[in-house]
Chain A
Amino acid sequence: MPPLRRAKPAAAQPATSPEPTAPAPMTPAEIAAQRRKRRTGALIASPGALYLLIFFMVPLGLITVYSFATRTSTGRTSLSGWNLNSYERIADDVIVGIIARSAWLAFLTTVLCLVVAYPFAYYLATRPPRLRARLLVLVMIPFWTNGLVRIFAIRFLLGSNGPASALSEAMGFGTFRILFTPTAVVLGMVYGFLTFMVLPLYVALERMDWRLVEAARDLYASGSKAFWRVTVPLTRSGIVAGCVLVFVPSFGSYVVPEILGGAKTLLIGSYVARQFQAARNWPLGAALSVLVIVAMLVAVAINQRNSANAERTPAGMP
């Protein structure tokens, strides 16, 4: 085979770069039109903004204020003598342990969700459109069902008198004891949050340009190599979005560990609730809440940057 030889030199075309255009000064009519548009926009947004202000921003502000307050010996909260005591307590071994366990179980939940959801989303996205719509409804049905009911159903399934245990005994493995263990909590959270992983993955895979996979196959990539080198990188935005959407609620989860977990699976959500209820230590509960919110904001920031990247290099061709 002859080596590839250099063709005759010719000037390469310059890349298309949009000319920077100086903003032209606006006429009074244009300014008035813009002002009207802005006023209409503000009017439309105001009910939602008001709602969020009263029921979200104000409580959030209160929580932040309380986190700097002091708990009196009687369990009341004194709104004077501001200090960082509650934040300092977060460094306690007990609390660090709870945070680490919460993060670990949230991490396991995220990984399991990804492993379960990716093949399923792949299957969904590669079906003919009509079947796809029907399967999506099936995905959404558990999502529309009351969460508490679903978790209690899992509790029944996993319980020592439940079907899982009966099956295990029938097969000679003895009684099935995973209820009230971290395993049960992770199983419950995977079940509860799976939809949050499936949907962004489905969107990313559905937008995927499959001709790129064909191109990879044409360039000597086996099916699995094409998957790892092309499909996975091109659906990265969906993977990151799904992971953030599962990790955040898993980390602060309250209902699932309360119902499926035992004494050894105290997670940060339950611990915060305990501070506000039984322990009557509002400043500590508030400080921990702030911590969870900050963790969530970090995750959201990661997701934002990820989707901004995805816009620069879309799944399809430009």
Chain B
Amino acid sequence: MSADVPAVEMHGISKRFGEVAAVDGVDLQIGDGEFFALLGPSGCGKTTTLRMIAGLDIPSEGRLAIFGEEVASWPPDRRPVNTVFQAYALFPHMTVAQNIAFGLQMRGIRGPDADRQVAEATALVQLEGMEHRRPSQLSGGQQQRVALARALVNHPKVLLLDEPLGALDLKLRQEMQVELKALQREVGITFVFVTHDQEEALAMSDRVGVMSEGRLLQVGTPAEVYEHPASRFVADFIGRTNLLEGVTESPSAMRLNAGAVVAAANELPPGSPAALSVRPEQVRLHRRGEAPEGTPCLDGVITDATYLGHAFVYMIAIGPNADAGGSGAGDPAPTITARSETGSTALDAGERVTVSWLPASTTVVAD
């Protein structure tokens, strides 16, 4: 297959359930061999998008191609894709080996050839010795491996994974993230991965698509999406961020509600309401008045300091009322979150500080 035929191609894909549009006009191309994550909060339409690729839901409108073939109306059993389901959906009445062999059997592959492929897939996910167990006799992590083997044994052109790590505890999940990524490189199959966990999406995928309310908001590499979020939702959803409200003044500056006019590159018409996204780890803390010249800065008071072991997280009240303890009548002072590595000087709550950041590390986002 030629490199320029995308593994999955969607044009104006929508899916309506009654009046509700679960997916609304999604355009998306996923490249051959790519590890692609569809990221969004629950109910954003990411699972429905995945199910449409699998053929378990039929699009209400739009075009859907898998390696150049129009498949929108094909039943799931004709599509060259397999799915690792959320909660795995292993067949409880079959052994591990029977589960893995199911897809081969359905395509008429039996006998020694099937046995060899099942053994290969079992070894791939390190489940040797478990072949004759029932799914109910396996741990969550093992069930997850069976689900993977059951899909991969068919050499799908695209592997779809619906929150495959969601049911695992944190430690196992982190191990499986690394393993799944290594596995994907080994087998070279296109992975489309659905998750609501932004850290997981950033850690594992080549590219991320962020969805909200049925729409695909932004597609890019993890770094692009994290560093240059295209909208307020993406900025807020991917990682933690400070959204400093304000109004744009020029293509290079913005007036913050907190008082200052700061450098902020943007493409909005002057006078547009917008927010400046500043990541907590980009916020620098200085004793009051010691901020370097020429960087955007705001005065504030530390209201809370949290020790996390590897870092401190500070909450800083900023703006005109900050020095009054952030409890000016009515309007609470806006706060900004800063994060600094331990090893730097620890600051205490109540300390008067100036916060600054590098303009290049921030993004202006509109609503």
Q: A-side interface residues toward B, CB under 8 Å?
A: 1-10, 12-16, 209, 211-212, 214-223, 225, 229-230, 233-234, 236, 312-318
Contacts and interface: CB of A to CB of B under 8 A. Distances in A.
B121 to A, nearest CB: 6
Nearest to A229: B102
A9 B128 CA distance: 11
A217 B179 CA distance: 27
A215 B85 contact: yes
Given A13-B139, A15-B139, A219-B82, A212 B183 contact: no
A15 B127 CA distance: 11
A315 B93 CA distance: 9
Interface string B78-114: 0001110101111111000000001100110000000
Given A7-B125, A16-B139, A218-B83, 17 more contacts: A2-B187, A3-B120, A4-B152, A7-B182, A7-B183, A12-B128, A12-B129, A13-B141, A215-B90, A218-B82, A218-B85, A222-B75, A229-B102, A317-B88, A317-B89, A317-B135, A318-B136
B137 A1 contact: no
Of the four ranges (under 10, 10 to 19, 20 to 34, 35 or more), the interface on chain B belongs to: 35 or more
Given A3-B120, A5-B186, A318-B92, A219 B126 contact: no
B138 A15 contact: yes
Chain A at the B interface: SS class: loop
Contacts of A317: 87-90, 92, 135
Nearest to A6: B123
Interface string B245-285: 00000000000000000000000000000000000000000
Contacts, number: 124
Contacts of A223: 75
A214 B182 contact: no
11 contacts: A13-B139, A16-B139, A215-B85, A215-B89, A218-B56, A219-B154, A220-B106, A222-B106, A225-B106, A317-B87, A317-B90
B126 to A, nearest CB: 5
B150 interface: yes
B91 A211 contact: no
Contacts of A229: 102
Contacts of A316: 92
Contact of A209 (B89, B117, B188): B89
B177 interface: no
A1 B106 CA distance: 20
A234 B92 contact: yes
Contacts of B87: 211, 317
A242 B53 CA distance: 39
Contact of B91 (A5, A16, A212, A217): A212
B287 to A, nearest CB: 50
Contacts of A209: 89
Which of A1, A218, A222, A317 counts the most chain B CB atoms within 10 A? A218
A314 B92 CA distance: 7
A220 B126 contact: no
B126 A10 contact: yes
A216 B179 contact: no
